[in-house]
Structures are given as structure tokens and as C-alpha cells.
């Protein structure tokens, strides 16, 4: 059990003791502990029933167990002000030597390791089947995207996939014959370049990530149609944006001599209404607007840096600055600083998108009192057997078997056809089934968010 120090009455507003250069860990943990749907899962749901102890690339549930104990102490032990996360650190260090000692580490690398560990510990897939690489082969990109997501879900289904993972589109176009190939890959966070300038906006960084580049000389692409290496244009963009969108600012760079340096460029970013529409490659319905709820900061240089965090409390809606054990309230306008390193955004759900399913499949609108944030949104539990819960369909009230609206764009009809095909093919797929322990389970009302049970609809 975590060592508890001092006392307070503020739910979730808790400092974390620095155990010796562990500020990187504390910074990331404060942001995750203020991720509403993740906390609903660990605080309002019997998550232990989903621990996959037989996953060879998991930790046997150790990391998930210690994370669950820690965040429960942070949120439900209202009388405590400071927690020393010793047991949690020991658990991580046992599975990754990088985090076993007391050297300063990178908060983003720690975050990636922790989310990967939680995913594998809570993976609902009991036996991972072999899955072949998906080839576009001249097909419509909507169909390829759906097929790629299904292939990914055959091996990966967890609360981490449900909340944090989206899909990127990679487009390669031959500059000789114009043959175009599409590939679609899952992502859990987006690492964006920091444009070299005195002060830039986060949209400038996202635009640079999506900017086309030319592959030539030694980097030519072997065109499947030309059968020889050709100059090609490569472009990446967002196909599906997840409920929680994490942006990693690439501040640390390495030169040709192997020396690393830090870019102190001031990156402006909004605390509300970050619109990702211009960076989306798909024409998904609904909003692509996000609000900020957490920031992991890095202060100083590579040799003498320090990590802190800003996080918005779900209870009182106020912002707080977390510097290990020191916690203080701040204004929303003070959150954007040149120390920002990892940004945590949640999707804004408009009333038309805020829906849930009852056990008989009926669509029930959420009550009007739910707020304009992820707490009122639907976190769709990813399942092979219920493809209309996939993120390729933003409105789960629309059946994939509905007739096409005459005004509907062709790419939407292509998406419907692909989802219908996926549903038929999945009906007899034994590997599509999750652990029976997760059947019929739902998340309790720790807050107003929901995780829709895949088994409730088949």
C-alpha cells in the first residue's frame, strides 16, 4: 500500500513525493489521474476482472494493479495531501530497468511505457491470432481503413484502445504514374515537430506533421505499378482522432554528431476549442474539437531539467499546478508556457453526439444536464462483433444497415458497405470474442461518462 503523508480535504488534488529524480513520473501521473474516462474505469468499474495474466508481453497485471491502487488513493482518500508512490515505482522498475533507478528520465517515454503496460495487462484478447498486413491494392481508402482497424482489434482490445488510440493515414503517391497507396496505423499519441521560430502555434506544429514530403534519391519508393523505385510524395494525416488526444512536442533533437539539444520555442495552444478538422484525412461526421485538461512541462536543460504538470480538476473545474508535493491553484490563462512538453486534450461532444445504448440496443439520449466535455460523451468499447461501435462511425445511433440517404457523400456509403462486410465476416470469427469475464460489465457513475458494453449488443 502507498505511504500516505499529511492531510487535506480536496478530492483528487494530491501531491506526489519525489523519490529521487522521479519528477518525470509524477508529472505524467498527474495528467493521467485527471483523465476522466480512465479514472471512471479504475474507480467505478471492476477492472480487475479484465486483467490478462496470461499475456506474455504484459506484466501479469502487476502494473495495472499498482496503478489502480495509486489513483484510488489519489481520488478516494480525501484526507491525504501527499502520497509517496513507492510501490508503483518498484513495480515499473521490475519490468523496465530504465525506471528502476533514480536517474532523470523522459516523461513522454514513461507515459508511453505505462500506457503500453496498462494496455497489455488489460487486453481483452486472450489469444492473439496471426494477422496479415493490410494492402490497399487499389481499393477505396474507407474500406482499407475499416479493414486495418479490424485487423488491429483482432489482437488489441482494451480500455487504453477505447480511450487513447486513433488511426493515422499514410499516403504514398508515385510521381511518375500517380499510383497511390494507403496504409492505416493505430496511434496513441502524436509526436509533432516544433517549428524553429521564436513563437509558434500548436496548429503550426500539426501542419508540419501533415506536410507532404518528397521521397527521392536514396529514399525512392518502389512503386507497385511501375515495379521500379520512383520519386514519390508521402503525406500523413489523422484518419480517426481518439477521445483523448495526446500531443508530444518534439523538443529534444539530435544533431549529426549525436549531440542532443532542447528547443525552447514558445508553442501557443488553446485551453478550449482546438479544432483538428484541417488535419483530418477522413470526412467523419461530428465534431473534431478538443479541450485541454493536462500538460506535462519540462523546465531547464537536458542536464539539469525538472518536470511539473498542470491539470484541470474534474470536481471543481479549476486548474492546478503540480510540482511534486507542492500543489497550487492557477488561472487557465497561466497554463500555456514555453515549458509545455506533452499536451492532453479531450474531445468535446455536442448534444447530438451524446448518446448511449440500453441493453436491448435502443438508443437513449443522454440527459441535458451533462456538460460540454468528455464526461458527457460515449466511450465506445471496441469489439470485433460490433463494428458500428468503431471510431469510423461517430454516431452509434446510425445502424450500418440503414439505407443510404440520397444526399450522403459516396465515401460515407463506402464506409457503410465496409462496416456491413466487417460485421458479416466477424459473426463466425472465434478470435473476435473477448474474455467471458468482461461480459455484461459496465462502468459505474463515478462521473457522467460511460463505457458501452460490447456484449450488450451481441
Q: What is the DSSP string of 254-299?
A: E-TTS-EEE---EEE--SS-EE-GGGBSS--SS--EEEEEEEEEEE
pLDDT at 371: 40
What pLDDT does residue 100 have? 77
Query: Is there a contact between 297 and 310 (Cβ–Cβ < 8 Å)?
Result: yes
Residue 184 confidence (pLDDT) above 70: yes
Say what the alpha-carbon torsion angle 199, 245, 237, 277 is, to the nearest 10 degrees. -80
Residues catalogued as catalytic: 23, 306
Does residue 26 surpass a pLDDT of 80?
yes
> Which whole number is the average pLDDT over 317-341?
96
- Lowest-confidence segment of 4-13, 170-179, 206-215, 322-331 by average pLDDT: 4-13
Whether pLDDT at 3 is above 50? no
Q: How much is the pLDDT for 408?
A: 54
pLDDT at residue number 104: 79
Q: What local confidence, expressed as pLDDT, does residue 382 receive?
A: 82
Task: Decide which of 142 and 398 is more confident.
Answer: 142
Residue 1's Cβ-side half-sphere holds a number of Cα atoms within 13 Å equal to 5
397 or 432: which leads in pLDDT: 432
Range of lowest pLDDT (188-192, 333-337, 347-351)? 347-351
Q: Residue 283: what pLDDT?
A: 76
Average pLDDT over residues 416-430: 60
Range of lowest pLDDT (89-103, 109-123, 191-205)? 89-103
**Alpha-carbon distances of 379 from 269, 292, 382, 425, rounded to whole Å:** 25, 18, 9, 24
Give the per-residue pLDDT at 404. 40
Q: Is the pLDDT of residue 361 over 50?
A: no
pLDDT higher at 406 or 388: 388
**Range from 5-9, 49-53, 162-166, 448-452 carrying the lowest mean pLDDT:** 448-452
pLDDT at 312: 96
Q: What is the DSSP letter of 435?
A: -
- Which value, in Å, is the radius of gyration of the alpha carbons in the chain? 22
With a cut of 60, say whether residue 141 has pLDDT above it: yes
Instruction: Check residues 449 and 196 and name the one with the higher pLDDT.
Output: 196
Sort strands 82-84 and 15-16 into parallel, antiparallel or unpaired: parallel
pLDDT value at position 103?
79
| Side-chain half-sphere exposure of 427, counting CA atoms within 13 A | 6
Model pLDDT for residues 31-67, shown as the tens digit of each residue: 999 999 999 899 888 899 999 999 999 999 999 999 9
Question: Of 453, 450, 454, 455, nearest to 37 (Cα)?
Answer: 450
What percent of the chain shows pLDDT beyond 70? 75
Q: Tell me the three cell numbers of residue 46.
A: 471492476
The rounded distance, in Å, linking the Cα atoms of 156 and 222 is 31
Q: What is the pLDDT of residue 401?
A: 38
pLDDT at residue 313 is higher than 60: yes
pLDDT of 126:
92
Q: Please report the pLDDT score of residue 442 as a whole number.
A: 45
What pLDDT, on a 0 to 100 scale, did the predictor assign at position 292?
Answer: 97
* C-alpha grid cell, residue 262: 532542447
Considering the chain, what is the average pLDDT of its residues?
A: 81
The model carries a pTM of 0.85
Phi, psi of 119 (to 5 degrees): -60, -50
Amino acid at each position: 500500500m502507498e505511504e500516505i503523508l499529511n492531510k487535506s480535504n480536496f478530492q483528487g488534488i494530491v501531491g506526489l513525493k519525489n523519490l529521487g529524480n522521479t519528477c518525470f513520473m509524477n508529472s505524467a501521473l498527474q495528467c493521467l489521474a485527471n483523465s476522466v474516462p480512465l479514472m471512471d474505469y479504475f474507480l467505478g468499474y471492476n477492472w480487475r476482472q479484465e486483467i490478462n495474466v496470461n499475456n506474455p508481453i504484459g506484466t501479469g497485471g502487476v502494473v495495472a494493479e499498482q496503478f489502480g491502487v495509486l489513483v484510488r488513493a489519489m481520488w478516494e482518500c480525501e484526507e491525504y495531501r501527499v502520497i509517496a508512490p513507492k510501490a508503483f515505482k518498484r513495480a515499473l522498475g521490475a519490468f523496465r530497468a530504465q525506471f528502476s533507478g533514480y536517474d532523470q528520465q523522459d516523461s513522454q517515454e514513461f507515459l508511453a511505457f505505462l500506457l503500453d503496460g496498462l494496455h497489455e495487462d488489460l487486453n481483452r484478447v486472450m489469444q492473439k491470432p496471426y494477422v496479415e498486413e493490410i494492402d490497399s491494392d487499389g481499393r477505396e481508402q474507407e474500406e482499407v481503413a475499416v479493414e486495418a482497424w479490424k485487423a488491429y482489434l483482432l489482437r488489441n482490445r482494451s480500455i487504453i484502445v477505447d480511450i487513447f488510440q486513433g488511426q493515422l493515414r499514410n499516403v504514398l503517391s508515385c510521381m511518375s504514374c500517380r499510383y497511390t497507396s494507403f496504409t492505416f496505423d493505430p496511434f496513441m499519441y502524436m509526436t509533432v515537430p516544433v517549428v524553429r521560430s521564436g513563437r509558434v502555434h500548436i496548429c503550426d506544429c500539426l501542419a508540419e506533421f501533415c506536410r507532404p514530403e518528397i521521397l527521392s534519391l536514396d529514399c525512392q519508393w518502389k512503386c507497385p505499378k511501375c515495379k521500379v523505385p520512383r520519386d514519390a510524395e508521402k503525406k500523413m494525416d489523422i484518419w480517426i482522432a481518439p477521445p483523448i488526444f495526446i500531443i508530444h512536442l518534439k523538443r529534444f533533437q539530435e544533431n549529426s554528431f549525436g549531440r542532443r539539444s532542447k528547443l525552447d520555442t514558445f508553442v501557443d495552444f488553446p485551453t478550449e476549442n482546438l479544432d483538428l478538422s484541417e488535419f483530418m484525412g477522413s470526412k467523419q461526421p461530428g465534431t473534431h474539437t478538443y479541450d485541454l485538461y493536462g500538460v506535462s512541462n519540462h523546465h531547464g536543460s537536458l542536464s539539469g531539467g525538472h518536470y511539473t504538470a498542470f491539470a484541470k480538476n474534474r470536481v471543481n473545474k479549476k486548474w492546478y499546478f503540480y510540482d511534486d508535493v507542492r500543489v497550487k491553484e492557477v488561472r487557465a490563462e497561466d497554463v500555456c508556457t514555453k515549458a509545455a512538453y506533452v499536451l492532453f486534450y479531450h474531445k468535446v461532444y455536442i448534444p447530438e453526439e451524446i448518446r448511449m445504448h440500453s441493453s436491448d440496443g435502443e438508443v437513449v439520449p443522454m440527459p441535458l444536464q451533462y456538460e460540454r466535455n468528455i464526461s458527457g460523451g460515449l466511450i465506445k468499447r471496441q469489439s470485433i462483433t460490433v463494428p458500428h461501435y468503431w471510431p469510423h462511425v461517430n454516431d452509434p445511433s446510425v445502424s450500418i444497415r440503414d439505407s443510404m440517404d440520397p444526399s450522403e457523400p459516396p465515401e460515407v456509403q463506402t464506409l457503410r458497405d465496409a462496416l456491413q462486410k466487417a460485421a458479416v465476416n466477424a459473426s463466425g470469427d472465434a478470435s473476435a470474442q473477448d474474455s467471458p469475464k468482461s461480459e455484461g460489465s459496465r462502468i459505474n457513475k463515478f462521473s457522467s461518462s460511460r463505457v458501452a458494453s460490447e456484449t450488450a449488443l451481441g
